[in-house]
Amino acid sequence: MANIRDLRQRITSVGNIQKITRAMEMVATTKLRRFQEKAVASQPYAEELDRLVRGLSSGVVSDSDTKLNVADFFQVGDSSAPTGVLFIGSSRGLCGAYNTNVQRELEAGLETLSTDTKLFVVGKKAMNHASRMEHTVAAYFEDLDPEKMDFSEAVAVSKHMVSSFRSGDLSRVFMCGTRFKSMVRYEPYFEAFLPIEAPEGEAAAEPLLEPNGAELLDRLVPRYLETRVFYALLEAVTSEYASRRFAMKNATDAAGDMKKDLTRSYNRARQQKITSEITEIVSGAEAL
C-alpha cells in the first residue's frame, strides 16, 4: 500500500486537475451556447436558400434555351480530374472523439471515390491527419479560425474551391465536417458540394419569377455556395465545443471518482498506521 505522504500528494494533484477540467468545462459550455445560438439562427436561412437554388435548378438547368452563366455549377467536370474535398477539423485538442470521428468519416468517404483527391484543409488537427495519411493537400487555410471567422473568410474558402472547379482542375467537390444536432449529438458527414444536385423526384410547377429563374440563379448560386461553407464552419466549431464540454465533464467526473478512491485508501492507510502505533505502545507498556 502506498504511504500516507504519497497518497496525500496524489489527492492534491487530482484535485488540482479536477479544478482545471471543471473550469474548461464551464468555458466550453459558455462558448457552446454562443455558437449554438448562431447556428440555430443561421439554419433557416441556409435551408431555405438550399431549397430555393435546388428547386429553381431542376427547371432552369434542363431548359436548353435558357442562358445560364452558372450552368457549369450543375454539371460534373472532367472525369479524369481529381476530386476536391473540404476537410474541416479543429485546431485544438481536448475535445474528445471529435477529430477522430471526422477523420474516420473522411477516410470512409475517400474510399468511395474512384479518382485522385485533393484536400482543402481547415484546422491544425485536420492538417496533421492529412500529412500523416499522405493525402494531397491543395490548400491549407492555416489562418482561418472558425471560432473568430466572419463571412468574408468563408467567402474566400468557397471562391478557392469554386475557381478550381470551374477551371477544370477538379471534377467534383465534397465537404467533410461535423453537423451539429444538439448539445449531446453531433454527427460527421461526407457530402457533395459541387456540382449542385437538383432535388430528387418530379419538379414542382415553375413559379412566376421576376427577374427570371436564370437571372436569379446567376445571383443566388455564388451566395448559396458561400453560405454552405460558412454554415459548415459554424456547425463544425459548435460541434467541437459540444464535444469538448462533454469530454471535460467526463474528465471532471473521473477526477472526482479517483479522488474519492484515493481518499478512501488514504483513510485506510492512516487508520492502519494509527492502529500499528497503538499496538506498539500497548506492547511496550506490557513489557514494562
Residue 201 scores a pLDDT above 60: no
Closest CA to 31 of 179, 146, 196, 199: 146
193 domain residue, yes or no = yes
Q: Give the domain range for residue 275.
A: 4-19+250-281
276 domain residue, yes or no = yes
36 and 11 share a domain?
Answer: no
Residues 78, 285: Cα–Cα separation, whole Å: 98
How high does pLDDT run on average in the chain? 86
272 and 157 share a domain?
Answer: no
- Does residue 180 sit in helix, strand or coil? strand
pLDDT of residue 170: 94
Residue 132, classified by CB atoms within 10 Å of its CB into exposed (0-12), middle (13-18) or buried (19+), is exposed
pLDDT of residue 63: 55
103 domain residue, yes or no = yes
Residue 287 scores a pLDDT above 80: no
287 domain residue, yes or no = no
pLDDT tens-place string over residues 210-269: 666 667 777 888 899 999 999 999 999 999 999 999 999 999 999 999 999 999 988 888
Compute the average pLDDT of residues 60-85: 75
14 and 71 share a domain?
Answer: no
206 domain residue, yes or no = no
pLDDT of residue 278: 76
DSSP codes joined into one string, 39-70? HHHHHHHHHHHHHHHHHHHHHHTT-TTS--TT
Please tell me the total count of domains within the chain: 2
Compute the average pLDDT of residues 110-137: 94
pLDDT tens-place string over residues 148-184: 888 999 999 999 999 999 888 999 999 999 999 888 8
Closest CA to 90 of 7, 170, 31: 31
